């Protein structure tokens, strides 16, 4: 016996079906971020009747999520990794700091099966920060941040560079 499934879309948009479908795809992409924050970062995993602790934890999770997203974009600028993939990939390693002749070296040994990929990702981050360190004395802290953000978002900027606003809080 054959089974049939039907769907009906009712809208007041004056657009073609292909355009409407693309709108729904964009909406799903936006919802994926909230799903990731809720299910993989624990944004929905705390309950309290006191609003201040609830807001504090929610803000901390959002901040950590954003920091991690920037770090992962520095490691792999052309691809979005969800936390469920990126954390085991980039965090399963053993780090050792050594000091010799007033120079500190951090050695990370990855325990992940894709260790060569992880090495290349960390090397990209290292190369970027070495370049930034060479020019950082001429930059304000805000300009340094904009260099980091530009590097992390270079896929979307397509060769452009983020500029600090004129009303910046730093001189």
Q: Tens of pLDDT along 135-147?
A: 999 998 989 999 9
Instruction: Indicate if the alpha-carbon torsion angle 155, 161, 167, 171 is positive or negative.
Output: positive
* pLDDT < 70 regions, the chain: 45, 167-171
CA dist list (Å): 157 to 30, 90, 108, 154, 160: 19, 25, 31, 5, 5
Domain ranges of the chain: 46-98+107-157
pLDDT tens digits for range 8-26: 777 888 888 888 888 888 8
What pLDDT is recorded for position 7? 76
What pLDDT is recorded for position 168? 52
d(CA 31, CA 94): 34
User: How many other CB atoms sit within 10 Å of the CB of residue 152?
Assistant: 20
User: How many other CB atoms sit within 10 Å of the CB of residue 108?
Assistant: 14
What pLDDT is recorded for position 164? 75
């Amino acid at each position: 016996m054959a089974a049939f499934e039907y769907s009906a879309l009712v809208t007041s948009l004056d657009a073609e079906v292909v355009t409407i479908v693309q709108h729904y795809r964009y909406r799903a992409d936006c919802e994926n971020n909230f799903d990731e924050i809720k299910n993989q970062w624990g944004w929905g995993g705390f309950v309290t009747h006191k609003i201040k602790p609830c807001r504090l934890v929610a803000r901390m999770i959002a901040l950590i999520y954003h920091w991690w997203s920037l770090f992962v974009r520095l490691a792999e600028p052309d691809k979005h990794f969800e936390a469920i993939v990126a954390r085991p990939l980039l965090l399963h390693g053993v780090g050792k700091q050594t000091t010799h002749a007033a120079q500190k070296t951090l050695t990370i040994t990855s325990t992940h099966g894709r260790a060569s990929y992880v090495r290349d990702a960390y090397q990209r981050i290292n190369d970027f920060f070495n370049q930034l360190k060479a020019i950082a004395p001429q930059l304000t802290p805000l300009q340094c941040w904009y260099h980091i953000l530009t590097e992390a978002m270079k896929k979307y900027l397509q060769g452009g560079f983020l500029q600090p606003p004129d009303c910046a809080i730093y001189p």
